Amino acid sequence: MNKAASHSHRTSGLDELSRFIYKALESYSEPELGAGEPWWSPLWHVVRQSKAHPLLQNLDGIESWNLVQQAVEIKAFMEADSRLLGEEDVAVAWARGWDKVFYLPDETLLDVALREANENPAAPPRERTKGYARFLSVCAALCRLCGHPEISIGVERWGELLGVRPMTVSDWRVWGVQDGVLEVTREHSHAARRAREYRVRGDRLTMLRGAL
């Protein structure tokens, strides 16, 4: 791609990003004190929507802001949220909000764990199947996101997420226990409507990228 074509492509991308963010700003409502959500960071929902934009993926807060400020006027953010008094307020609110957003629109924590597992896969202590290794990678990622080593593994939801039947997830759980990666810490209870919980032994896994 020559310089002229590259510049045209970049300009087109910024124009599309500009339209995307202005549309998000139009639907943004500044939370009112006493409305039950005063904890919202300024522009939280705009930042969260923008994190799904292709031009901004795989960037950190400052990197994304460096692109966004080329596409949108500072005053547009200040008009959207009166708590922002100037460019520095806007830049910091955007970058801090960006780095705190883990969920994209319509995502769940398990969806995020799958994305994290794809980026930082783990190898089990015993080689079995590719799907089993991916399953354990999701278990490890979910623990990192939750901040504690115990998780529940619902066969229906996990099967849907990983594209297998629920019984396959059940078999993976059995393998995980046999391999010493999963330890049952609490049995399920139909009466209490409580799922079985597992402790994930991260020390039994080898990270292929990233860190456990």
For 116-157, what is each residue's pLDDT tens digit?
898 889 999 999 999 999 999 999 998 888 777 888 999 999
Tens-digit pLDDT profile for residues 68-95? 999 999 999 999 988 899 999 999 999 9
Q: What DSSP line would sit under 102-158, residue for residue?
A: -PPTT--HHHHHHHHHHHS-EE-SS---HHHHHHHHHHHHHHHHHTSSEEE--HHHH
Q: Considering the chain, tell me which residue range(s) the CATH 1.10.10.10 domain(s) occupy.
A: 109-207
Beta-carbon contacts of residue 141 (< 8 Å; ≥ 6 apart): 112, 113, 114, 116, 117, 120
Which of the four CATH numbers 1.10.240.10, 1.10.3720.10, 2.60.120.260, 1.10.10.10 does domain 109-207 have? 1.10.10.10
CA distances (Å), origin 15, targets 20, 56, 57, 98, 100: 9, 13, 17, 21, 26
Q: What percent of the chain has pLDDT over 70?
A: 82
Alpha carbon distance 66, 9 (integer Å)? 18
Mean pLDDT of the chain: 84
Distance of CA 120 to the CA centre of its chain: 13
Q: What is the pTM of this model?
A: 0.58
